[in-house]
Amino acid sequence: MFKENPNKTGKNAETIIGQSVKVEGDFVGDGDVVVEGVVIGNLKTQNHLTIGSEAKIQAEIAAGSAFVAGEIIGNVKIGDYLELTATGSIDGDISAGSISIERGAKINGKVSIGGEVTVKNGKKNSVKEVVDEASV
Amino acid sequence: MHWYVYEEFLNDKKYAAVLDRIESRLSDLEIKGRVCRLSVLKNLREAVKEAVDQGAETIVAVGSDQIFFKLTAAAAELGVTLGFIPLDNSSLLMKAFGLPLAEKACDVIAQRLVKKIDLGKVNNNYFLDSLSFTGEQVFLEFVGYQISPATSEATLSIKNFGLAALNNSNISLCCPCDGKLEAVIEPLKKTWWGRLKLIGRPSVFPFKKGKIVSVGEPANIIADGQMISRTPGQITIEQEKLKVIVGARRLF
């Protein structure tokens, strides 16, 4: 009886960087960010970051949580949870609250999980603090 | 007091019957008001200002989407409420605002459910639906970064409403009440018949303030179907700038 109209607008807008787009500079997203294209510079969001399998990123990354299936050249700082799939590769240092790495994923850099990212002065940092502190 | 603006094409005799039905229904609902019939000699903004000076609180556009778009800037600047009686069955605003066609829309005007919506602004010109660009390749600059189409066949547009989504299932309608504009880059490819076809997921960047610039010669800026300016252009959002009468079945 109350069928949802398929054209109705969605209010939680997310940023989608598709394959046909190139982003250069210090990108700061408000909501969730999906990357399937090219990003050069810095990439920062307090929410979830999804990096698709075709994405090529040469940037310092800071996000609340992340799913990585593409290629990253640069340091990655994730406040909460980082998921790296078999097609994902990170050439840089990683710091995250927790991590899952699928067989086949490539990492070339220092990995620090837990303490360094989520704990400061004996207290647990919020995701916002981690992203704000990131040097991007 | 209501003030009704009839679009130019309604001067044709074939629309006399439907206009009679509308005027009759407005009388029944006790919201009949002055009528302004547009012609090439009439300046729309001055006509709206005159109406407001005479006490008009609601301006109702009668005709196609184009008349509503033309009235948007004047209504926003003068702070009057804008209504719409669509006479074109293919009207996209009719669907977005949840309005019925012709005389049935009079009931929605009488119910007076008013919603404040955002308007985009480019080089001091308001737009309700979207901006597009023709000519040279354009890119969008924000504070600290810029975005550009990676291929020459991808097109950049700026959407407040994005009414074209109502005819295309691959893209979704933007919310004109979220305080943001959306820059959309659609990857297109020419088909055998010369038409452009979407070949991938569009890129979407919500933003509040940006600058459109072109590579080389200035590009034309087209707002709601009308060419209004040339690049470079400062683009901003004006939140809750326009008061619109909408139906219960609106899409936002």
Peptide bond into B232 cis (omega under 30): yes
pLDDT at B21 exceeding the cut of 90: yes
Asked if A63 contacts A80 with a C-beta cutoff of 8 angstroms, the reply is no
Tokens read off for A38: 């090219």
A30 to chain B: closest CA residue: B206
How far off is chain B from A124, nearest CA to CA, in Å? 31
Top-confidence range, A77-91, B34-48, B142-156, B211-225 = A77-91
Query: What pLDDT, on a 0 to 100 scale, did the predictor assign at position B42?
Result: 72
> Cβ separation of B145 and A14 shorter than 8 Å?
no
pLDDT at B201 exceeding the cut of 90: no
Query: What pLDDT, on a 0 to 100 scale, did the predictor assign at position A8?
Result: 45
Domain boundaries, chain B: 2-112, 122-240
From the list B19, B67, B23, B69, the residue with the least C-alpha distance to B42 is: B67
- On the 0-12 / 13-18 / 19+ scale of CB atoms within 10 A, B186 is buried
pLDDT at B172 exceeding the cut of 80: no
Q: What is the pLDDT of residues A63-120, one digit of tens each?
A: 999 999 999 999 999 999 999 999 999 999 999 999 999 999 999 999 999 854 443 3
Domains B2-112 and B122-240 belong to one CATH topology: no
Q: How much is the average pLDDT of B90-101?
A: 93
Query: What pLDDT, on a 0 to 100 scale, did the predictor assign at position B38?
Result: 80
Which residues of A lie closer than 8 Å to B, measured between beta carbons? 5-11, 13-28, 30-31, 36-38, 41
Q: What percent of chain B has pLDDT over 90?
A: 53
pLDDT at B189 exceeding the cut of 80: no
Query: What pLDDT, on a 0 to 100 scale, did the predictor assign at position B169?
Result: 65
pLDDT at A10 exceeding the cut of 50: no
Chain B partners within 8 Å of A18 (Cβ): 185, 187, 200-203
Query: What pLDDT, on a 0 to 100 scale, did the predictor assign at position B44?
Result: 82
Query: What pLDDT, on a 0 to 100 scale, did the predictor assign at position A129?
Result: 58
From the list B195, B197, B213, B117, the residue with the least C-alpha distance to B156 is: B213
pLDDT at B36 exceeding the cut of 70: yes
Q: How much is the average pLDDT of B110-114?
A: 94
Which band of pLDDT confidence, cut at 50, 70 and 90, is reported for residue A6? Answer: very low
Q: What's the maximum distance between 2 C-alpha atoms anywhere in chain A?
A: 56
What rounded mean pLDDT belongs to chain A?
81
How far off is chain B from A102, nearest CA to CA, in Å? 26
Which band of pLDDT confidence, cut at 50, 70 and 90, is reported for residue B72? Answer: very high
Domain boundaries, chain A: 22-133
Of A2-11, A96-105, B131-140, B153-162, minimum mean pLDDT range: A2-11
> Cβ separation of A7 and B206 shorter than 8 Å?
no
Neighbouring residues of A53: CB distance < 8 A, sequence distance ≥ 6: A69, A70, A85, A87, A88
Asked if B23 contacts B56 with a C-beta cutoff of 8 angstroms, the reply is no
Which band of pLDDT confidence, cut at 50, 70 and 90, is reported for residue B236? Answer: very high
**From CA B236, how far away is CA B124, in angstroms rounded?**
9
Chain B partners within 8 Å of A38 (Cβ): 150
A:B CB pairs within 8 Å? 94
Chain B partners within 8 Å of A13 (Cβ): 174-175, 178, 180, 182, 204, 206
Of A86-90, B32-36, B78-82, B132-136, minimum mean pLDDT range: B132-136
Is B150 in the A-facing interface, judged by CB distances under 8 Å? yes
Q: What is the pLDDT of residues A25-37, one digit of tens each?
A: 999 887 899 999 8
Is the CATH number 3.30.1490.20 carried by domain B122-240?
no
Is B24 in the A-facing interface, judged by CB distances under 8 Å? no
Query: What pLDDT, on a 0 to 100 scale, did the predictor assign at position B6?
Result: 92
How far is residue A128 from each of residues A45, A67, A77, A134, B22, measured CA to CA in Å?
A: 9, 18, 12, 10, 56
Which band of pLDDT confidence, cut at 50, 70 and 90, is reported for residue A126? Answer: low
Query: What pLDDT, on a 0 to 100 scale, did the predictor assign at position A105?
Result: 95
pLDDT at A12 exceeding the cut of 60: no
pLDDT at B17 exceeding the cut of 90: yes
Assigned CATH topology for domain B2-112: Rossmann fold (3.40.50)
